Chains A and B, each alone.
Chain A
């Protein structure tokens, strides 16, 4: 199940951090490693897991590879849905408070 893959891929805090970095824009593996204490092989492994979960895709440019969040990936959509599913009830609570203070 791809959903299970996504869950497992993002359960790891390092991979979550990598994914969040890539959400800002595409990057190569060495740029990704900056600011993280992680070896190159470990980074490659994490990227492979993210790729298999279809969260991240790679794009080759000659000898070099850039990584980016897969815009067709399920995680973007799932994350968006989860965020706003929690967001709207909170906004509606605020709306109810406002309505109490308004003239009918």
Chain B
């Protein structure tokens, strides 16, 4: 299913998938929110609005984990026509979380449970 996989860098995942549908259809499925929601739920995205769009070629979304450690990432979906009229969908998913040190609870010596930040 995943035809090719290379981790070009430590923090990046690159996957390619062959789809039978033509690029025009795939483009609608990955770019129109009502379709996108059916296979890539908005809850998995940091923002349902794409970061950038190159119509018919590439769309990028920001993602954020729903569970700790809530890492943020950027995913690009790139499509191109294959020789049989289907589509090659390439996913380039980068871990972009640049978090610095987590905030500290002020009184680390209070011997009380540490407060957890609301997500």
Contacts and interface: CB of A to CB of B under 8 A. Distances in A.
- Are A and B subunits of one complex? yes
Contact of B13 (A23, A66, A81, A95): A81
A85 B93 CA distance: 10
Interface in A24-74: 24-28, 30-31, 34, 59, 61-64, 66, 68-69, 71
A93 B105 CA distance: 43
Contacts, number: 114
B91 A102 contact: no
A99 B19 contact: yes
Interface residues of B, number: 48
B39 A98 contact: yes
A61 B108 contact: yes
A63 B115 CA distance: 20
Contacts of A62: 109
A88 B2 contact: yes
A99 B109 contact: no
